Amino acid sequence: MEETVKRFKKRLEELRVYDHAMGVLYYDMETVMPKGAIALAGDTLGALSKTSYQLQIDKAFVADIQAILAHPDAVDPITLCEAKRMNEARERIACIPIDEYVACQIESTAAFAAWQKAKAQNDSSLFLPHLEKLIDFKRRFALYYRPDAPAYDTMLGQYEKGLSTETLDAFFRDVQSALVPLIDRIQKNGYQPDTSFLEQSYPIWKQRELTKYLMQVMCMDPEHSACGEVEHPFTTNFSKADVRITTHYYENAVQSSMYSVIHEAGHATYELNIGDDIARSPLGTGVSMGVHESQSRFFENYIGRSEPFIEAIFPKMQELFPEQLAGVSAHAFYLAVNKAEPSLIRTEADELTYSLHIMVRYELEKQLIAGTLKVADLPEAWNEKYREYLGVDVPSDAMGFLQDMHWSDGSFGYFPSYAIGSAYGAQLLNRMERDLDVWTLAGEGNLQPIIDWLKERIYQYGCRLDPKELMEQAFEAPFDPKYYTEYLTKKFTALYRL
Amino acid sequence: MEETVKRFKKRLEELRVYDHAMGVLYYDMETVMPKGAIALAGDTLGALSKTSYQLQIDKAFVADIQAILAHPDAVDPITLCEAKRMNEARERIACIPIDEYVACQIESTAAFAAWQKAKAQNDSSLFLPHLEKLIDFKRRFALYYRPDAPAYDTMLGQYEKGLSTETLDAFFRDVQSALVPLIDRIQKNGYQPDTSFLEQSYPIWKQRELTKYLMQVMCMDPEHSACGEVEHPFTTNFSKADVRITTHYYENAVQSSMYSVIHEAGHATYELNIGDDIARSPLGTGVSMGVHESQSRFFENYIGRSEPFIEAIFPKMQELFPEQLAGVSAHAFYLAVNKAEPSLIRTEADELTYSLHIMVRYELEKQLIAGTLKVADLPEAWNEKYREYLGVDVPSDAMGFLQDMHWSDGSFGYFPSYAIGSAYGAQLLNRMERDLDVWTLAGEGNLQPIIDWLKERIYQYGCRLDPKELMEQAFEAPFDPKYYTEYLTKKFTALYRL
């Protein structure tokens, strides 16, 4: 068994090398690579991915995994858990013929480039044929893996193990019935806070200073983290030693990058606080997208959009933007960044209407994968749903179904994790308030005790526990979406004096 | 033979993939990677490098190379040339035991990190033990390859095929005897131009705008190029589709990044104009360091520090820096950026004294490799040479032997290519003036015809010709360093009214 474990660990290290190289190539592609190199980068990523795939399905490696799984008592718990996770990952990809797997990687890169162009030129015809191919690939892959399950449910499970359309249908019904009347009341009420000061010119080089400050407030160790600039912000990590967030600066919307940075810093905080015992292990990363989004949205919304936290960081903002924020109080800023109004763009949406944006995407991708919605009909279907749920007219595909990058690389089933994550976050906050004086800490800009609490209950485990097990352990209760709807109802009732 | 060539080309593509991945990892490490991830990146680079090494020395691949070389008439000229170059590269590394090769890669990364720390803290003791190890590795590798040649000559040949200490000793004697008296006369003359306006505060975010403008003037296609920020500027390329320059901004020295950008853009111009027929071939890159430096120093000095070119770009500089350059004429700027004065830092040195900085490094590394200078004695030997050749006292190791990164990754034999490159450049200029009205073009900021001329004679060939063959073809004459000393004598005699 000793030799088996040694070989197994050696292969894990080889796989880490390929993951690291591919991760850096991808990060580079998004942040600094000149656009004309996309074909080159696509070929390189395709080739590395092929080698990594072969290493993962290699018979000798599979035999080692199975030997470990057959003798769970003969190895330490981390090795056993690694073998389980590798086996799960292998089962998901081993069923895919290698040529199709590689073709899909290459198509993903091409589709991503086409999406960028389509969005920039507001020309959906450049992207739709790629989207069709990606859907075909991903549907087929899901059915290879679980021939008897609906393909979309299988995709959901890739981002959040155990999540199903049944759960989500119920979840979105609850959300819709709690929030739509509240949104209506706000609309009818007529009052909206002044947001004109947010739309002034905030020089980008000064916004970069704000990013540095916010990363510091979020306790991100500069020895192990950095921030890049991209079209659509994301976070990536190459072990807890190297965690990268990204942002996009808009000169006339300082709150955009500001909250994007806090959101991504939430993801980064999770990765930076993985247990040292699994730092270089495949277990050493966040367990699921839902749990990840629970952290990003916890810091973005529950902390970042709270009045005490805004009071804590506002002096620094006034120092950076004395002219733009002249005569503006922390309270006025708090009101402005919490303005709730149905709108077009998900990433700019307020906390209250956000889940409706997700609901649109959830319903559409469910139909696309089931084949009940044709790709050619997607743009119009998108626009209809926005009219129905949010009451807004979509003026262009660039501001419509082309706005998000997720479908451009085939991440179907990802969106719901944003909504589930928000709901996890609200329940976590409720539990945390029993142990910590959260709002005093937020008011001091002292987030370390909050991060320590989350590390203790969530971060340190990496992928050692399944999402459900992990969250129930953290909640000390089953998951319940009521904390989410209650939180939103309370906050926005007060904000809008309803 | 068809099957052989197919297998050979497939392996070249595999090697390209590893080169690309390693190149991006290295670029990332230098530009954006957080410092605390160095060990992780080092391990990943070491592992990729090991795989690439194995692919290069693999017996079946070597057999294919030899089959191609044995039937030169059975393949196209590009394939034949590829086989020759791969064989040369293989011969250089195949003689090195794999464990030593990998250990050296890992040591290089560690040494680089130690050098960064040593320089930042001005503590040579952090770096010297690593330098000693690197010298050991590189000397041993040179002797594995050419047991009967002096190790340092073998190292020189890695950067400039055919270059020897004999040639360089003669070259530096010529340079020294022409330039030292000229430098003396300038020193005794007492006149120096006003440079005070260069030392004002030039905000870095505005310097970034200047970089964009200069890249445009240098005809760098933004679809295929980018600029990163680093400690010590360099250029790298992952095929002609993706060429990256880098710079370092100093708030109180605008000319530093300005000329660094033009220098690196000269390297980039070479890579961006490789022939399309060899774009993804191992032949599709600059042939040697000397030829590369001839291009970077051609644009930096012969064009970039000429009065007509400064007149062409000065309006843009005044637009970017109206306060800093108020009342400054293009002529005054020209005088200031050509101030000749013995100094401490190579990268900031003027054209005239530059080669003396190289001479110091050349003589020291020659002795280090020969073992006639001990690593422990390097700091003092460095300081003595600076006193002897440049008449300056070195106040700290950080401003002394730790200033350059080249020794930190074992690039011994690299420095002389800067001086040889300058001399190549002067002879190229002389030849170019017979075909083009260089100074009218420079005065219009119209560098495209100059780049086209260089593409025709040099760039398009990539590695298809040896450096000597390539340069003699471009010069239509043998190499002669007199063009270099004559150019400098003429320029600085006029500038200093001697």
Partners of residue A243 on adjacent β-strands: A225, A237
Mutation target for B interface from A16, A220, A238: give the one with most B CBs within 10 A: A238
Q: What are the DSSP calls for B298-366, one per residue?
A: IIIIIITTSHHHHHHHHHHHHHH-TTTTTT--HHHHHHHTT-----S-GGG--HHHHHHHHHHHHHHHH
Contact B40 A238 (CB under 8 A): yes
Residue the block writes with tokens 């979309």: A152
* Residue B240 pLDDT: 96
Phi-psi region of A249 (alpha: psi -120 to 50; beta: other; left: phi over 0): beta
* Residue A396 pLDDT: 97
Window from A75-89, A192-206, B97-111 with minimum mean pLDDT? B97-111
A120 interface with B at CB cutoff 8 Å: no
CA distance B464 to B287: 8
Q: What percentage of chain A exceeds 70 in pLDDT?
A: 100
Identify the CA nearest to B13 among candidates A33, A353, A384, A44: A44
C-alpha distances (whole Å) from A331 to each of A253, A340, B344 are 18, 16, 55
Strand order in the sheet with B235-237: B225-229, B243-247, B235-237
C-alpha distances (whole Å) from B298 to each of A414, B236, B484 are 52, 18, 11
Provide, as residue numbers in chain B, all residues whose Cβ is less than 8 Å from the Cβ of A37. Answer: 224, 238-239, 241-242
Could you say which of B44, B238, B239 has the minimum Cβ distance to residue A21? B44
Provide, as residue numbers in chain B, all residues whose Cβ is less than 8 Å from the Cβ of A241. Answer: 36-37, 39-40
* A445-484 per-position pLDDT tens digit: 999 999 999 999 999 999 999 999 999 999 999 999 999 9
Residue A226, Cβ neighbours under 10 Å: how many?
22
B57 interface with A at CB cutoff 8 Å: no
Q: What dihedral angle (degrees, nearest 10) is formed by the CA atoms of B490, B495, B497, B498?
A: -50
* Residue A101 pLDDT: 87
C-alpha distances (whole Å) from B356 to each of B37, B277, B292, B385 are 37, 40, 20, 10
Q: Which residue has the higher pLDDT, B25 or A102?
A: B25
pLDDT higher than 90, residue A328:
yes
Can you tell me the ipTM of this complex? 0.88
Identify the segments of chain B with pLDDT beneath 70. none
pLDDT higher than 90, residue A190:
no
pLDDT higher than 90, residue A409:
no
Q: Which two tokens stand for residue B142?
A: 């040179």
CA distance A27 to A29: 5
pLDDT higher than 90, residue A264:
yes
A193 interface with B at CB cutoff 8 Å: no
* pLDDT tier at A94, thresholds 50, 70, 90: confident
* Residue B248 pLDDT: 96
Residue B117, Cβ neighbours under 10 Å: how many?
13
Q: Tell me the pTM.
A: 0.90
Mutation target for A interface from B32, B43, B212: give the one with most A CBs within 10 A: B32
Residues 267-306 of B with CB under 8 A from A: 280
* pLDDT tier at A153, thresholds 50, 70, 90: very high
Residue B338 makes CB contacts below 8 A (sequence gap 6+) with B193, B305, B350, B351, B491, B492, B495
* Residue A347 pLDDT: 84
* A413-426 per-position pLDDT tens digit: 999 999 999 999 99
Residue of chain A with shortest Cα separation from B20: A44
Provide, as residue numbers in chain A, all residues whose Cβ is less than 8 Å from the Cβ of B238. Answer: 37, 40
A403 interface with B at CB cutoff 8 Å: no
CA distance A496 to A491: 9
pLDDT higher than 90, residue A9:
yes
pLDDT higher than 90, residue A33:
yes
Q: What are the DSSP calls for A160-179, one per residue?
A: STT--HHHHHHHHHHHHHHH
* Residue B498 pLDDT: 85
Residue A374 makes CB contacts below 8 A (sequence gap 6+) with none
A88 interface with B at CB cutoff 8 Å: no
Residue A164 makes CB contacts below 8 A (sequence gap 6+) with A153, A156, A157
Residue B26 makes CB contacts below 8 A (sequence gap 6+) with B45, B236
Partners of residue B53 on adjacent β-strands: none
3-state secondary structure of B247: strand
Instruction: Please say if A351 is a catalytic residue.
Output: no
* A157-174 per-position pLDDT tens digit: 999 998 999 999 999 999
